[in-house]
Amino acid sequence: MEGLKFAHSVRTRAGGTRQSAIVGVVASGNLEVLVERVLPDAECAIDIKTAAVGFGEVWTAVVGDFVERYSPGGLRFSINDGGARPDTVSLRLAQAVRSIAENGQ
C-alpha cells in the first residue's frame, strides 16, 4: 500500500449543502471516494491510500486536472484505491463532487 496526500488552494467553494457523500467501491480496478465538507472555502485536500505502488506522478496529474476543472473548495476527499485506471479515478472524483453538490444532509 502507498499513501499520498495532496492539498490545493482553490478559487471557489463547492456548491450544495450536503456534508458528505460516498461513491464507488474498493475492488480490482475500482476505488471509493469519501468526500466531506470540512475545510475552509479556499482549500481542498485529497488523501489517497492505494494498492498500486509507484504511481505518484500519475496521481499528481489526475488530481491537479480535477482540482483545476471543478474547483472543489471546502472539500476533503478520502480515497481507498484498488488499482483503478486514471480515467476511472477522474470519473469517481467527478461523481463525488456531483453527489455532495446536491442539497440535503
Partner 1 sequence: MTAPLEDITPAERARGTSFYEASARTRLELLLDAGSFIEFIGPEQREVSPHLKIFDLPEQFDDGIVVGRGRLDGSPVFVAAQEGRFMGGAFGEVHGAKLTGLLRAAREIGSIPVLILFDTGGVRLQEANAGELAIAEIMRAVMEARSVGVKVIGLIGGKSGCYGGGGLIAGCCSALAVSEPGRIAVSGPEVIETNRGVEEFDSRDRSLVWRTMGGKHRRLLGAADVFADDNVQDFREAALELLGLVGPFGLDKLKAEQERLADRLRRLSTCFDAVDIWTAEGIAHAETVPELPADQFIALADRIGRISRDAR
Q: Which of residues 13, 14, 32, 72 is near partner 1 by CB under 8 A? A: 32
Does position 25 interact with partner 1 (CB under 8 A)? The reply is: yes
What does the buried/exposed string (b/e) look like for 48-61 if buried means 16 or more CB atoms within 10 Å of the residue's CB? bebeeeebeeebee
CB of 32 to partner 1, least distance (A): 6
Q: Which span (43-51, 56-64, 65-73, 88-96) binds partner 1, by CB under 8 A?
A: 43-51
- Whether residue 76 contacts residue 35, with contact meaning beta carbons closer than 8 Å, is answered with yes
Task: Tell the burial category of 105 from Cβ atoms under 10 Å away from its Cβ (0-12, 13-18, 19+).
Answer: exposed
* Contact positions vs partner 1 (CB under 8 A): 1, 20, 22, 25-27, 30, 32, 34, 36, 49-51, 78, 80-82
